[in-house]
Amino acid sequence: MNRYRGGLLGSVVTYVVLCALAVVFLIPFYVLLRNAFMTTPEVTSTDWHWLPGALRLENFTGLFDNPERPFGRSLVNSLLIAVITAPLSTLLASMAGYALARLAVPGRALVLSLIVGTLMIPQSVTFLPTFVVVGSMGGVNTMWGLIAPGLFSAFAVILFRSFYLSFPAEIEEAGRLDGLSHLGVYWRVILPNSTTMIASLGALSFIEAWNSFLWPLMIGQDPGSWTVQIALSSFLASQTVNLPELFAGTTVAVLPLVVMFLVAQRHIVQGIAMSGLKS
Residue 39's alpha-carbon distances to 27, 184, 234, 255, in angstroms, are 20, 60, 20, 21
At 91 the pLDDT is 94
pLDDT-above-70 percentage for the chain: 92
- pLDDT above 60: residue 1: no
Domains of the chain as residue ranges with CATH: 57-278 (1.10.3720.10)
At 182 the pLDDT is 80
**CA–CA gap between residue 204 and residue 155 (Å, rounded):** 11
Enclosing H/E stretch for 93? helix 71-102
**CA–CA gap between residue 185 and residue 102 (Å, rounded):** 11
Nearest in space to 129 (alpha carbons), one of 215, 220, 210, 213: 215
Enclosing H/E stretch for 217? helix 214-219
Q: Which stretch of 62-66, 89-93, 263-267 has the lowest confidence by average pLDDT?
A: 263-267
**CA–CA gap between residue 152 and residue 86 (Å, rounded):** 10
Chain Cα centroid distance, residue 52: 31
**What is the arithmetic mean of pLDDT over 174-192?**
84
Instruction: Write down the pTM of the prediction.
Output: 0.85
Reported as half-sphere exposure (CB side, CA atoms, 13 A), residue 229 has a value of 18
Q: Mean of the per-residue pLDDT values for the chain? A: 85
Task: Give the CA dihedral 162, 167, 173, 176, nearest 10 degrees.
Answer: -60
- pLDDT above 50: residue 222: yes
- pLDDT above 50: residue 277: no
Residue 279 binned pLDDT confidence (cut-offs 50, 70, 90): very low
**What is the arithmetic mean of pLDDT over 136-164?**
91
User: What is the three-class DSSP state of 120?
Assistant: coil
At 209 the pLDDT is 94
Query: What b/e string do you get for 142-168 counting C-beta neighbours within 10 Å, with b at 16 or more?
Result: beebbbbbbbebbebbbbbbbbbeebe
**CA–CA gap between residue 212 and residue 219 (Å, rounded):** 12
- pLDDT above 80: residue 275: no
Largest CA distance in the chain: 75
